[in-house]
Each structure stands twice: as C-alpha cells, then as structure tokens.
Structure 1
Amino acid sequence: MRLTHTRAVFLMIAVTLMWSIAGVITRHLEHARSFEVTFWRAFFTALSLLVILPVAQGREVFTKIRRGGPALWISGVCWCVMFTAFMVALTLTSVANVLVTMSVGPLFTALVARIFIGHKLALRTWVAIFVAGAGIAWMYGAQVSGGQLAGTLVALCVPVAAAVNWTVVQRSHAQGHDVDLVPAVLVGAVLCALATLPLAVPFSATPHDLGLLAILGLVQLAIPCVLAVRCARILKAPEVSLLALLEVIFGILFAWLGAGEAPGSEVLIGGTLVIGALVANELLGLKERS
C-alpha cells in the first residue's frame, strides 16, 4: 500500500496509541519489577525485530548492522539508555510524570544540536525551551517532598539520550553516512537486555507478567518503531513531533482509566506549560516552512 500524507498521519496516530500503552500495562504486572521489567521488554523487542526486520528489509539488514560504523552503535547505546530509563522510571513514579518529562525531547535535541553541530535556533524555539523548562521545574519542585523526584530524574535520561541520538544521526547524515534507525533500535534492545540481565535475576515474573511484557516488546515498541520510521519519510519533522505528543495525552488517559492513576495538579500545570510550548513551537515552524 502506497503511504500518502493522509495515511501517514493516521498511521502515526496509531503509532502513538501503541506507544502509550506502556504505563497502563506496567501497572497490571503482578510480580515483575524494575530491571526485570526492563529486561523482558527489551528481550521481547529484540526477538520481535529479529523476525520483523528480515521480512521488512531483507537479510541485508544484518549487513547494515555489521557495516553501520560508530554512528549506528552510538545510536544503539542511546536507544539502550532510553529503553532502560523509561521502564525503570515507570516503576518509580507516575505515568504522567514520565511522559511529560519525555516530551521535552524535541527541545533538548534542538539545544544539543545548537551546541555540538552549530544548528541555529529560532527565537520561538528559545522561548519554547524556556517555557518548557519552567514547566519541568514546576513539576520537580512539587515532587521534592513527594518522594517521586528520583523517578522523574531517571525519566529525564530519556530525552537527554534521544537528543544525543538524533544529533549523532544528523551529524552522520551531514557527513554523507546515513544511519538506519530501525537496526539501531534492534542494537539498543539487545544491549538493554544484556545490560539489565544481571540486575533482573532471580526472575519473579509470572506467566501473566510475561504475556504482558511480550505485548510491550512487540506491540508497544517493535511494531510502532518500524512504522514511525516509515511515517517520518512522508511527514515533515514538525508534523511528526506534534503527532508524537499524542502519546502523552493517550498515555495519561489510559493510566487514569485503566489503572486509576489520576495525574496530580503539579503534573497538569507543568504538563500544560511543556505541551503548550511544544505545540506553539512546532505550529509556528510549520507556518514558516509553508
């Protein structure tokens, strides 16, 4: 099926729906916790991609990994950090805290790209960075006495690693060496599983837990990552960033309805600042490009 712009938009919405089930599924685990949750999710993601990638890209996908060079392996390490920090953060703090903190990724990316590869930032992006930073600071300030600050700080590793990842990819592209992000996701999943295995034993996951974690590996991560890369070939970067923000809304809603985890007032206020800054920045960017 040829992927038109309209189909890409709806497919990206479906991707955000799949991404957003992580929080509510994690809340229904029986015994698996922390690094064991991270290990099994990464394991099932790697297993799924080992089946999906040869079907989608042929056997040459493994040649791409062998010949990917330093950029692909750095990207894989960044994916490993994101996978690990995301799941550990979900076990330490609320779904809303994690998702709102992760949503500043595009602004972190813009800032890191400005520092390390000289990308110029528009005034609107500087303003968005300031406003989003104020929203995150508001959330952090309210959580210092609430015992959830550690989880939010761990979640902050996700947008930081994402910023490094995209900057490495952009720099590699500028030098004429494109990085295929889907094989990099496979590398990241394998590295994450290997890194967390010693911390995950002895295993305590029940068959019920393993079923849910297999869903996370396949439906919440492997499939949407492949589809998101395909959508990114059709949609403009601001469109992808805007549609990706639906993960925050869907994720908080699913955790609220499916696990009774209502977001606190500090998350609603801070999240409104963060999401509002991101939406305004990307909409203005689209207007300038058009």
Structure 2
Amino acid sequence: MSHIQAVCLMTLATLLASSGGVVTRHLEADASFEVTFWRSAFSALALALILTIIRGPALWRCLFRSPAVLWLSGICWATSFTAFMVAMTLTSVANVLITMAIGPLITALFVRFFLHHNLPPATWLAIVAAGLGIAWMFMGKGEANLSVIGTLVAMGVPFATAVNFTVLQKVGMDRLKAITPGGKPVQDMLPAVLVGAVLSAVITSPLSWPFQASVHDLRLLGMLGVVQLALPCLLMVRLARELPAPEISLLSLLEVIFGVTWAWLWTNEPLSVHTLQGGTLVIAALVVNELARLMRQNRQMRKAKMQI
C-alpha cells in the first residue's frame, strides 16, 4: 500500500482505539481487574474468530510452535491491555493520556538504540512538539486526579508499546530481507494480539472474582473488546510493515485528540482553550512531519534521476 493509505489506516485505528476512555466512564462497575478481564476476554473471542477466518486451521497448529518474538510481542500487548484499563480506574483519563504521550519518544529511543535507525530531525521535533501539545491540552484541568499509583500503572502502556513497536519493526525489516532469493520465512505477528488478549484475561481472571458486571457493562465491554481493542491492534500490526515504528507511535497520539472529542460529544464535556490549543499543536506536528517526509522523498527522487 502507499504511504498515504497506511497513514489513513493508522488514523482509523486511533479513531477506533480512542473510545476507551469515555466508554469506561459510562461503566457502572469500578472493579478495575474485572473490567480488564471482560474487555480482554471479549477481544480474545473476536480475535480468535477473525484470525481463524483469515489464517484458517493452520493458525492453531502453528501458534504454540511460534518463535520467542511472537510471545514477546504478545506479552507487550497483554501489558498494554491490562495497564490501560487498570490505570483508567485508578486515575483520570487526562492523566493516563498525558502519561501515554511519552510513547513516541520512548519508541524513537528504542528504535535508535536497538535497531540503529537514524531518525530525521523533523521527526524528533514532531515528537517533542506533540508531547508538549498533549501536556498543554490538560494543563488547565486542575481537577485531574494525579494518582501516583495510577500514573505508575499507566507508565506500563508507553513502555510496553515502545518495545512492541520495536519488535514489529524488526520483523518488518526481516520481511523485506525475505523477499530476496534464499530469504527465510518471516513470523506472522497477527496472532501476537490474540496471545496478548488471552494472557491479559488469564492474569486478571482470579483478581476479578466474584464477577459482578451488569448486563449494561458487559455490552459496553464487549464493544470495547472488539472495536476499541481487537480491530485497531490488528491494523497496527499490519501497518508495522508499511510505517516506521516512531511514525506509528507518533500517529497514535491522535487517539488523545479523538478521545477528547468523544468526551465532548458523548458527555458534553466542554472544550477548553488549552484543549483546542494543545490539539492544534499535536495536529500541526503530525502535518509538518508528513510534509518533511514528502520533501525528503522528493529530494531522493531528484538525486536518483540525476545519477541516471
């Protein structure tokens, strides 16, 4: 697919994922582990069905013989799934989103250190500007509950995501090498999302007893498991073949913009001046980063033509 198609699909993935915060606020239950269990369990069921349709029975025959890289990615998904929902019940949505905003910076550092990728200056500037925009969005929210425990739990999301995107980027690089004659087959990473959802459900199930979720909550958590978790994560894994890990992480900050918009539409939460200014800065950083990429691409094409 083209780069613009990949960016559009990544934007769709963040739009789907952004519903988590506002839907969580409509739950009747406040048991963080039970909420996490049901969301992960519904996601695992949806993923099992989707991946069986896509991959067929071979999915289950090969799953337990998969290499360590798939299980590492699965553990990262499980950490992200669990930490996000637990943090949402321990502190404010704003605090969780601000904490997650450091994800692109951590991802960029991991890719630079472990994969030895040189990021262009425009991408570094975009990461810093977007992070500042997220912080500015919530600077005026003095009512935000800055729970220390909630913040520490939320920190698990950007760290696990950074490791995961780095792993997916490495697999994507191996996939390019596999195209050449004699290249080795590359591990299919889509089942890693299923592994993550199952691990998250298994880990939180004993902590969720006795189950007390109402029918109302189960409906919302079922929607979250499919729409907010399973589909966006599958899209991200697929897009890791098309986009650099720091760019995927940077685009994921759109989840904050969409999340604030959902809160405004669904709960009539007013949009403050800080929110509008910070959101504008985030979008501007993403646009400038994309324009800089296009300029670099045009320069490379001109140099190639001159050499010919």
TM-score of the pair, normalised by structure 2: 0.77
Report SS of the residue matched to 1:199: coil
Q: Matches of 2:115 and 2:7 in 1, distance apart?
A: 30
3-state SS of paired residue (1:68): coil
| Per-residue deviation, 1:277 | 4.0
- C-alpha separation between the residues in 2 aligned to 1:42 and 1:273? 33
* Structure 2 partner of 1:170: 169
Alpha-carbon separation, structure 2, partners of 1:152 and 1:271: 22
Would you say the 8 A contact 2:22–2:262 is kept in 1?
yes
The CA deviation string for residues 225-260 of structure 1, in whole angstroms up to 9 with x for no partner, is 334444565x54487567544422221111222134
Native 8 Å contact 2:240 2:248 kept in 1: yes
Moved more, 82-91 or 104-113: 104-113
2:8 and 2:133 map into 1 onto residues whose CA distance is 29
Q: In structure 2, do the counterparts of structure 1 residues 174 and 219 end up closer, same or farther at CA, with 3 Å as the change threshold?
A: closer
CA distance in structure 2 between the partners assigned to 1:118 and 1:212 by the alignment: 42
The yes-or-no answer on 1:247 pairing with 2:245 is no
> Aligned AA for 1:220?
Q
Q: Does 1:191 align with 2:199?
A: yes
Corresponding position of 1:107 = 105
Aligned residues: 287
1:49-128 to structure 2, matched below 5 A, reads 49-128=47-126
Over the matched positions of the two proteins, sequence identity in percent amounts to 54
Structure 1 67/173 Cα, relative in aligned 2: closer, same or farther at 3 Å?
farther
Shift of 1:200: 1.6
Cα deviation, residue 68, structure 1: 2.1
Q: How far apart are residue 82 of structure 1 and its match?
A: 0.6
The 1:115/1:145 distance shift into structure 2, 3 A limit, reads farther
1:25 to 23, 37, 40: 23
Task: Pick which of 51-60 and 133-142 moved more.
Answer: 133-142
Deviation at 1:8, TM superposition (A): 6.1
User: CA 1:279–1:162 in 2, change beyond 3 Å: closer, same or farther?
Assistant: farther
Alpha-carbon separation, structure 2, partners of 1:258 and 1:134: 26
The Cα of 1:74 is off from its aligned counterpart by 0.6
Report the RMSD for the aligned CA atoms in angstroms: 3.4
Q: Which residue of 2 aligns with 1:154?
A: 153
CA distance in 2, matches of 1:251, 1:138: 15
In 2, the alpha carbon distance for the partners of 1:289 and 1:140 equals 35
SS of 1:181's partner is coil
Q: Deviations over 1:54-97 (max 9, x none)?
A: 10121222234223211111111100111011112222333344
SS at match of 2:195: helix
**What is the SS of the residue equivalent to 1:54?**
helix
For residues 291 and 157 of structure 2, the distance between their equivalents in structure 1, rounded to whole angstroms, comes to 24
| Residues 225 and 216 of structure 1, relative CA distance in 2, 3 Å threshold | same
Larger Rg: 2
User: Residue 108 and residue 263 in structure 1: after superposition, are their counterparts in 2 closer, same or farther (change >3 A)?
Assistant: farther
Unaligned residue ranges in structure 1 (runs of 5+):
none
Distance 2:62 2:189 in 1: 11
Residue type of the alignment partner of 1:107: L
* Long gaps (5+) in structure 2: 175-183, 299-308
State the shift of 1:102 in Å: 2.8
C-alpha spacing 1:128/1:10, structure 2 compared with 1 (3 Å) = closer
Show CA shifts across 1:178-217 (max 9, x none). 3433200000011111111122222221111111111111
Q: 2:290, 2:102 → 1: CA distance?
A: 12
Structure 1 residue 33: deviation in Å?
A: 2.6
- Aligned equivalents of 1:89 and 1:264: distance in 2? 24
Distance in 1 (alpha carbons) for counterparts of 2:54 and 2:159 = 30
Per-residue deviation, 1:171: 3.4
Indicate the larger mover: 118-127 or 194-203.
Answer: 118-127
Pairing of 1:39-50 with structure 2 (within 5 A): 39-50=37-48
Q: Are the equivalent residues in 2 in contact too, given 1:44–1:218 (CA < 8 A)?
A: yes
| Alignment partner, residue 205 of structure 1 | 213
TM-score scaled by structure 1? 0.81
The answer to whether the 8 A contact 1:103-1:275 is kept is: no
Look up the match of 1:221: 229
Cα distance change, pair 11–121 in 1 and its aligned pair in 2 (3 A): closer
